[in-house]
């Protein structure tokens, strides 16, 4: 079974992805090197990857950020093995790092309905994070149902705006496969319908 033959078309290739990840990492580095409103250096952020979809993006991102960061993971599931979000995310893996009083950047593969993200932001706020930013590799605003609120001086970092297609690759899956594709591609409907 050749995975590439399951892809209708490639939206973003490896080179485009690498360039955009480097740009986002530079922006995060600059934002946290610049200091806060009192012109004091901001403490480095804790990057929290949303497992499992964001693992490749997170790995590439953290290797390019020039700050002494901490990294952790959470797992929130809202898709199961389907193509539509259930709208009721379940937290199945929590943080090991204490985020109380810290700046947190939640790293997501894709923001779709916004339900999972909203739930995770609330969870991090309840743990005492002083700010929560979101760094989403893909943003699919056409599917948004829940408008999430960032915390404190949180910022929204976005890789690419994604059209309303079912996409896989670069960590994103359908039924736990296709994560290993080195690009973002549109999955042919016959493989998920």
Q: Is position 112 annotated as part of the catalytic site?
A: yes
Q: Tell me which DSSP letter residue 70 carries.
A: E
| C-alpha Rg value of the chain to the nearest Å | 16
HEC string of 133-177 equals EEEEEEECHHHCCCCCCCECCCCEEEEEECCCCCEEECCECECCE
Residue 30 CB burial class (10 angstroms; 0-12, 13-18, ≥19): exposed
d(CA 89, CA 101): 25
Query: Which position among 60, 109, 112, 139 bears the catalytic label?
Result: 112
Question: Which residues are the active-site residues?
Answer: 112
């Amino acid at each position: 079974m050749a995975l590439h033959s399951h892809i209708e078309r490639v939206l973003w290739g490896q080179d485009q992805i690498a360039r955009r990840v480097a740009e986002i990492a530079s922006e995060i580095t600059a934002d946290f090197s610049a200091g806060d409103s009192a012109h004091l250096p901001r403490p480095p952020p804790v990057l929290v990857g949303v497992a499992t979809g964001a693992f490749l993006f997170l790995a590439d991102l953290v290797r390019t950020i020039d700050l002494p960061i901490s990294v952790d993971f959470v797992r929130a599931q809202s898709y199961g093995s389907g193509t539509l979000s259930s709208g009721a995310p379940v937290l199945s893996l929590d943080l090991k790092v204490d985020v109380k009083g810290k700046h947190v950047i939640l790293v997501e593969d894709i923001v779709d309905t916004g339900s999972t993200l909203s739930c995770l932001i609330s969870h991090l706020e309840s743990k005492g994070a002083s700010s929560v930013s979101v760094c989403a590799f893909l943003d699919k605003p056409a599917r948004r149902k829940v408008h999430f609120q960032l915390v404190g001086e949180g910022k929204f970092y976005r890789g690419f705006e994604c059209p309303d297609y079912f996409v896989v690759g670069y960590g994103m899956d359908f039924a736990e496969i296709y994560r290993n594709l080195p690009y973002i591609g549109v999955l042919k409907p016959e493989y998920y319908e």
